[in-house]
Amino acid sequence: MSAIPRNQWYVAAYGTEIGRDLFARTICGEPILFWRTESGTVTANSDRCVHRRFPLSQAPSRLVGDQVVCGYHGFTYGPDGKCVAVPGQARVPRTARLTPYPVVEQDSFVWVWIGDPALADPARIPRAPYLDSADYTTVCGLEPLRARFSLLVDNLLDLSHETYLHGGYIGTPEVADTPISTEVDDDAGIVYVSRHMDDAECPPFYAKSTGLAGRISRWQDIEYTPPCLYKLHSRIAPVGSVPNPDGTDPDAFHVEVVYAITPETEHSTHDFWAVARDFALDDHEVSEFLAENNRTVVLQDVEALNVLEQVVQTEPPGYQELSINIDTGGLAARRMLARMAGQTPRNAPAERTR
Ligand code: FES
Ligand SMILES: [Fe+2]
């Protein structure tokens, strides 16, 4: 049985990836074809010609105006997936239609609905407005991960790994040493994990980008909306500084780290990452530094999770992981994901943390 929840919105691409060229990406095991119409709307349809299954994203298939022409025998489809012309006969079979996917472009992402289109409600797409807000500057990327998406969820929900896997980049001793608090909002479908370090070493990632010297107050507030959108609200400030009662926070630097965790297949994942900041907005050097540094950090995770995927796949069934307090958020996320996928959670009997 699949571990991938259906009837959910997933990030398929950055809006900037999709233009007037045919663009293909496999999302949750489904090959999908995207293009932008002449009026600028993103379309999403199955990437298989209904005739002999030739991928429409594959040359010599091509876009002509707002229609895609199959490169094998010329079946031609409109943006809604309906076939409008076939070779050698005037009559187009009624059933000649690509499967169209509900698609929404929002917050710099292209979201697709995987599941029953009748259930697709754009209001349910979680938001990350800073990614295309003029008040923030964002750097972003996408890394292929050869591991199941749940391993990335585990990884992102437990940031104590920063101290070990990302030492010298974003990890300092205080991350692993400071206890977390976890809250689960089952109605809203959100897992929150917070770690507030009030007197911590400033890792190079933040020292170089903010210019703060010396020790800092560092808050990490995770907000994960399963299955796809993960946000880390990161606050960096001089020690002793707290937000004002009205919510303003002039002494602090705010970084919104966003991941979209999109299964490609059961065992591979599209790891979208973005870092939005509310300071040094026009400073290209800061942008370059954060982009390069964050990509390095993401690749450290990718390397570790690629190894873990191989371990998990080759292990005999029944391995019992041992969970401790740091895993509380990850376990809550696993429960939600298992419910969404109609499964029982991995490690269900061992969920009491020790
Ligand atoms: S496979 Fe596309 S037209 Fe034949
Ligand atoms: Fe990491």
Domain spanning 8-123: which CATH class is it, in words?
mainly beta
| Of the options 3.90.380.10, 2.40.10.230, 3.40.50.300, 3.40.50.2300, the CATH number for the domain spanning 133-350 | 3.90.380.10
Residue range 11-16: mean pLDDT, rounded: 98
- The mean pLDDT of the chain is 95
Give the pLDDT confidence score for residue 353 in this predicted structure. 55
Q: Which two tokens stand for residue 123?
A: 């209001």
Q: Is 332 in the pocket of ligand 1 (CB under 6 A)?
A: no
Q: Is 115 in the pocket of ligand 1 (CB under 6 A)?
A: no
Residues pairing with 77 in the sheet: 68, 83
Residue range 85-111: mean pLDDT, rounded: 98
- Residue 264 pLDDT level (bands cut at 50, 70, 90): very high
What type of residue is 31?
A: P
CATH 2.102.10.10 region(s) of the chain?
8-123
Instruction: Give the number of whichever ligand sits closest to the CA of residue 98.
Output: 1
**Among 51, 45, 52, which residue's Cα sits nearest to residue 22?**
45
- Residue 354 pLDDT level (bands cut at 50, 70, 90): low
Q: Is the pLDDT of residue 240 over 90?
A: yes
For residue range 161-190, what is the model confidence (pLDDT) as tens digits? 999 999 989 999 999 999 999 999 999 999
- Residue 350 pLDDT level (bands cut at 50, 70, 90): very low
For residue range 15-25, what is the model confidence (pLDDT) as tens digits? 999 999 999 99
Ligand 1 pocket test, pick from 54, 68, 76, 97 with the greatest ligand atom count within 8 Å of Cβ, gives 54
For residue range 268-314, what is the model confidence (pLDDT) as tens digits? 999 999 999 999 999 999 999 999 999 999 999 999 999 999 999 99
Let me know: does 325 contact 195? Beta carbons within 8 Å. no
Q: Is the pLDDT of residue 349 over 50?
A: no
Give the pLDDT confidence score for residue 1 in this predicted structure. 84
What type of residue is 213?
A: A
- What is the chain's length? 354
Let me know: does 28 contact 10? Beta carbons within 8 Å. yes
Give the pLDDT confidence score for residue 307 in this predicted structure. 98
Ligand 1 pocket test, pick from 33, 73, 89 with the greatest ligand atom count within 8 Å of Cβ, gives 73
For residue range 139-154, what is the model confidence (pLDDT) as tens digits? 999 999 999 999 999 9
H or E segment at 225? strand 216-225
Atom of ligand 1 nearest to the CA of 49: 2
Output the CA angle 341-346-347, nearest 5 degrees. Answer: 155
CATH 3.90.380.10 region(s) of the chain?
133-350
Whether omega before 345 lies within 30 degrees of 0, making that bond cis, reads: no
CA distances from residue 290 to 121, 133, 204 in whole angstroms, order as listed: 35, 18, 10
Alpha helices in 70-145 (DSSP H): none
**Among 195, 197, 199, 172, which residue's Cα sits nearest to residue 182?**
195
